Amino acid sequence: MNSDDVLGNRALRHFDVCVIGSGAGGGTAAYALCKGGKNVLVLECGHNPWPGLDGDELPLPNHSNDELKYAVRTWLDPLAMLEPRTFRSSASIDAAINPDVNLLPRAVGGAFQHADAKTPRFNILDFQLKSTLEALIGRTPGLAIPGFGTDAASANFADWPLSYDELEPYYRHAEALLGVQGTDDDPFASPRSTPRPMPPGVPMYLGLLLSEGARQVSLQGSTLSPHTYPAAINSRFYDGRPPCVDCGWCSGFGCPNNAKGSPAVTGLRRALRSGRCQLRYNAKVVQLLNDGGHVSAVSYVDGEGQQKLATADAFVLAASPIESARLCLLSPTPAGGALGDSSGQVGRNLMFHLQANVNGFIPQRIHGQRGRAVSHGISDFRGVEPGGAAPRLFDANGSKAVYLGGITEFGGSQGLPITDDGFVMAFQLPSGVGARFGTRLKNAMRDGALSQHLISTIMQSEDAPQLTNRVDLDPTVRDIFGLPVARVTYAAHAYELHARNFYLPYLTQVVTNAGAQGVFVAPCDTLQLPPLVVSAPNSRHEMGTLRMGPDPATSVTDPQGRFHDVDNLYACDGSVFPTSSGYNPTLTIVALALKIAQGIAGNRPLEEGPPARP
Amino acid sequence: MRNLKLPKVRRDVPGPGATENGDASRPPVQPPERSLTAALPLHLLRAARLTRRQFLFASGAVAALASATRPSVVRAFSLFREERFFTDAEFATLEALVDRILPPDRDPGGKELGVAVYIERLLTTFDCGGVGLYRRGPYSGRTPYPDYQLGTPSSRFPENGFLRSIRASRLQELYWRAQLYGSEAAGIPPELDTSQGGPLVGLRDLYQQGLAEVDAVATSTAGQPYALLSVADQDVVLAQLDSPGVLPLDPRRGKTFLDIVIQHVLEGSFSAPEYGGNRNAQGWQMLGIEGDNQPLGYSIFSFELGTYRERPDHPMSTPNPDELAPDGSVVPIPLTPDGASIQQGITQETRLLSLIFPGACN
C-alpha cells in the first residue's frame, strides 16, 4: 500500500468494522461506530481532497472556484471511460453505455461535498406512505392512485420499518453534526423538537424573484408558500468552520473554506481524530469474500493498482445504492448465488427523483454566481397537508386525487461561462439556434444569454419503487478492473408522471410570475426517442436497491440495516430506503446511518446537543 | 443548481468507424513510461521512449511520491509557450484559427487571451510530470480575506494556490494519457475500447492531423495556409470547415476537429489564468464576472453587526447596480440580437419538441 493514501490511526491492526465508502452514509457510520467504541477501517475508492484531514487543525481543502477542474475535467467524478455503466429503459432492449448514470462523485467525504448541501427532512407521511394511502383509498370513493389499490402490482411500495418520531432524534443529531441553516417557514415540514443550529443565510436575488412569483400562484384555493431552503452550509461560525461567503461555486463544486458541512469535515473528521479509525483512500473494493452467510474479508485494489485484503468482524456497505448493490452481485456465495441475495431483491427498487424542470429568461442579470446555488423553494408540490402527516386530497374533474410530487428548488444558472453558456451554445443547441463561433458567439457570451439570465425551478418528484427498476451486472461490458459494470434498467411510473403533469402548469406560473420571458419546460428526465435521445434519469438522488424491511422474502436488509441472510453485513446509505419521498435524501441518509451504526455499536446513546468539537 | 436541462438532441450519433492516419512525416508520439500505470492488473503499458527531460521530470515525480507529505507540484506560471508540441507553422495556424472562433473586437480575441498556449500546455502536460491538469487552490489571491469584524474586505490577500497542481490519481492519469496519446498507447484494455466503439485517438494526433487539414482546406479554397489568409478569407474557410462532411467525426468523441478546437477556445478563454489561457483574466473581465472570488465571496459575516453585509458593487440579494434606476426600478440592459435570438431559439425549439413528441415536455 502507498502509505500516503491513509488517514487516521495508521497503527490500528484489528478492525471491528470495515466501512466501504466515506460519504454521508459511510463517513457518518464511522463517526457513530467510533463513538460507540469500535475500531473502524474505512475504504474509499476516490481520492482525498483534504490532505491532513486527520490533523490537529482542520485543513483547507484542495477545493477551489475552478470551472475547468470540476465541470470540464471532472476532478471529483468517476471516469466513465474507465468505469462505465450501461442503461436501458426496459429489460426487453439491449443496454448501452450511458454517462448519465455515472453521476455521483467519488472522493473522501463522498458526493455531498459536490452538492449545494440541501438538507430538508422527510416528513411523517413518508415513513408510512403505503398504509396511509391504502387507508385513504379505502375510505375515499373514486380515489385512484397509480401504484396503489387495484394498480398495486405495477409498483412495489412499502412502509418504512420505522417512524418519523423514531428517526427525529437522529435528524436532530444529524443537523447538529453537519451544521444546518434554516428556519421554520415551511408549513408542510413535520414537527421538530429543536430549531436548526443556524438561521438562514443571505437570500439570493433569483430566489427572491421566484418566491415573489410563487406568492401570486394559487393551488386549488391555497397560495403557494415559498420558504428558505435548509442546507448544511454555515451561516455563522460553527463547529470551528467559518460562515459561508456565498461565493457561488456551490452546486457541482467543493467548498474552499469548509463552510459547507461535508461529511469529511464533520463526522468523518471526528472519527479520524478519535484514534479508532483508519481510512484508506484510492482503495477500490472489488469483492466481499464470504461463506454465504458471513463475510470474512473484502478485496480491494489500492492506489498503486495492487490487490489487497482487509479483514474485520463486521462490514458496512455505504458505496451508494448502485455500487453497494453491484458489490453484492460481484461477490459470489459458495452456493453460486450473489451475496445477500437469497430474496432475489438485491438491486431492485432503484429510485431517483423525477425532476420536473421549468425554466425561463429574466431580462435583467440574475447573477447566480453570487450565493449558494439555491436559497429558496416551495414544498406545496409535495402534495401533503400542513405538518406533513397526511396527503392532500385534490379535486380532479369531480372526483378526488392525490399528487405526491416533491420539494421544488428555486435556482438558475450559476454564471459559469464555459459550461452554462459556451458549451450549450456551441454544442447542445441545433445549428441556427446556437452560436458556434465568431462575433455571434462572443456577443452571446458577453450577454451571458444563459449564464446570467436563465432561471430554473426543479421539482424533486417522488419516484415509485418498482421491482423492474434495478441494478444488475452487464453481461458484456467490463470496467478497467476487469469486472462487469452496473447495468441500470429504469422507466418512470405513472405515479410520478401524473404528479409531474399535475404540477407543471403551477410551476410554469411561478416562473412566469417571477418576470421570466420565454418560459419553457425541459423534456422529461426519462424521455426516450431513440436513436436521437436516450435519456437516463439524471437525478443524483440515488435510492433503493437494498431495501430495508421486516420480511426476508421482500427486503434485503432488516430494520437494523443488517442483511437478512448475512450475519455481519450491513447497508448504511440510500440503498436501504424503501421509498424515495420528495425531498433531497442526504439528511435522511445521515440520520439513518447514525441509527444503524449506533445499533452495530451496541446502542450506546449518542450525545445530545451539538457534538463536541473535534 | 448545475442542472440546466435542454433538449439533449445529439448532433451526430457516434459509432464505430475508421480513424484517420497520422502525418507520415512525423514519428508516432508515445507517452513516457510510468510505473504508476504499469501496476494495473490487466495489462502493461507499451514500452516507450523517454527523452532526457522527461526522464528528469519522471525522477522528480518519483521522489515526490516517496516523500511522506506528498507535496503538490509547482509548475512555473508563464504567459508564454513552455514545452513545445506544435511546430511554428502549426502554432501560427492554431493561433489564427482560435482568433476567428473568438475574434478580437473591443475585447481581446482567442489569440490574445492565450488560447493556443492553453492548448499546448494541455497537450504537453505529461512532458512536465503530468502536473497542471487540476489546479490546487483553495485561493488564487485575486480577492482578499474578509474582515469578519466589520463585514468588509480586508487588506490581506492569500497566496496563489492555483499555481500549484493536484497530482492525478492512477485512474485519472490513465484517463488523461488516453485522452492525449490515444487509448492504445495509454494501455487501455482492448475489451474496454471495443465496448465503447473502438480505440480512442489521442488529442495530440488529432491536433496534428486537424491543423494540417485546416491548412489543406485553406490552400485549396484561398490558395494559402490559414494563417496567411485575410481575416475575411479565414472566416470563409472557417464556415467551410464547419459544413457537414468537411472534417471527419472522431468516432469516440462524436466531434470534429473544429468542435474540439471550439471547446478548447471556450476553456482557454474563460478558465483560471493559471491553466495558460484567459490572459490577465481578460476573459472574465469581458463577461463582467470575477471568476474565482474566494476567500472574499459576496457576503461577509460581521461580528459587529451580528449579521451579513453584502458587497455594494456585487450585490447578492438585489439587482446589479447598473440595472437599477434611481427610483429603485429595474432597467434591464438589453441583450445583443445574438444573445436574444439564442434565448428565443431555445424556447421555440423546446415548444417544437413538445409539439412533435407530445409528452416529452409535459
Amino acid B128: pLDDT: 78
pLDDT-based confidence at A444, cuts 50/70/90? very high
Q: Return the DSSP state at A427.
A: I
Closest approach of B88 to chain A, Cα-based (Å): 24
Amino acid B51: pLDDT: 28
Amino acid B358: pLDDT: 75
Amino acid A610: pLDDT: 52
Closest approach of B274 to chain A, Cα-based (Å): 10
ipTM of the complex: 0.96
Closest approach of A368 to chain B, Cα-based (Å): 8
Q: Are strands A277-280 and A6-8 parallel, antiparallel or unpaired?
A: antiparallel
Q: Mean of the pLDDT values across residues B6-26?
A: 34
Residues of B in contact with A499 (CB under 8 A): none
Q: B56 pLDDT exceeds 70?
A: no
Percent of chain A topping pLDDT 70: 98
Are A561 and A576 contacting, i.e. CB atoms less than 8 angstroms apart? yes
Amino acid A525: pLDDT: 79
**B349 has a chain A CB within 8 A of its CB:** yes
Residues of B in contact with A67 (CB under 8 A): 270-272
Amino acid B49: pLDDT: 25
| Residue of A170, A531, A518 whose CA lies nearest to A362 | A518
Q: Which of residues 179-218 of A touch B (CB under 8 A)?
A: 201-205, 208
Q: Which of residues 390-409 of A touch B (CB under 8 A)?
A: 409
Residues of B in contact with A425 (CB under 8 A): 342
Predicted confidence (pLDDT) per residue in A303-313, tens digit: 999 999 999 99
A3-416+451-600: CATH homologous superfamily?
FAD/NAD(P)-binding domain (3.50.50.60)
Amino acid B78: pLDDT: 64
- Which residues are within 8 A (CB) of B304 and not within 5 positions of it... i.e. 6 or more apart? B149, B150, B151
pLDDT-based confidence at B61, cuts 50/70/90? very low
Q: B34 pLDDT exceeds 80?
A: no
**Which residue has better confidence, A262 or B45?**
A262
pTM (two decimals): 0.92
Predicted confidence (pLDDT) per residue in B241-291, tens digit: 999 999 999 999 999 999 999 999 999 999 999 999 999 999 999 999 999
Mapping DSSP to helix (H, G, I), strand (E, B) and coil, where does residue B83 land? coil
Interchain pair A518, B344: CB under 8 A = yes
pLDDT-based confidence at B215, cuts 50/70/90? very high
| pLDDT averaged over every residue in chain A | 95
Predicted confidence (pLDDT) per residue in A71-127, tens digit: 999 999 999 999 999 999 999 999 999 988 877 999 999 999 988 999 999 999 999
Work out whether the CA dihedral B204, B210, B215, B219 comes out positive or negative: positive
How far apart CA A592 and CA A577 sit, in angstroms, is 9
Q: Which of residues 284-323 of B touch A (CB under 8 A)?
A: 284, 286-301, 308, 310, 314-320, 323
pLDDT-based confidence at B129, cuts 50/70/90? confident
pLDDT-based confidence at B354, cuts 50/70/90? confident
Q: Mean of the pLDDT values across residues A574-579?
A: 98
Distances (CA, A) of A412 to A157, A415, A451, A582: 33, 9, 8, 20
Amino acid B19: pLDDT: 30
**A479 has a chain B CB within 8 A of its CB:** yes
How far apart CA B30 and CA B23 sit, in angstroms, is 14
Q: A316 pLDDT exceeds 60?
A: yes
Amino acid A555: pLDDT: 98
How far apart CA A110 and CA B192 sit, in angstroms, is 26
pLDDT-based confidence at B83, cuts 50/70/90? confident
Closest approach of B49 to chain A, Cα-based (Å): 22
Q: Mean of the pLDDT values across residues A57-81?
A: 96
CA dihedral A185, A188, A194, A199 (to 10 degrees): -30
Where are the domains positioned within chain A?
Answer: 3-416+451-600
Interchain pair B138, A257: CB under 8 A = yes
Interchain pair A426, B263: CB under 8 A = yes
| pLDDT averaged over every residue in chain B | 82
Q: Mean of the pLDDT values across residues A520-532?
A: 80
Q: A142 pLDDT exceeds 60?
A: yes
Q: Most A CBs within 10 Å: which of B257, B299, B324, as the mutation test of the A interface?
A: B299
Nearest chain A residue to B191, by CA: A478
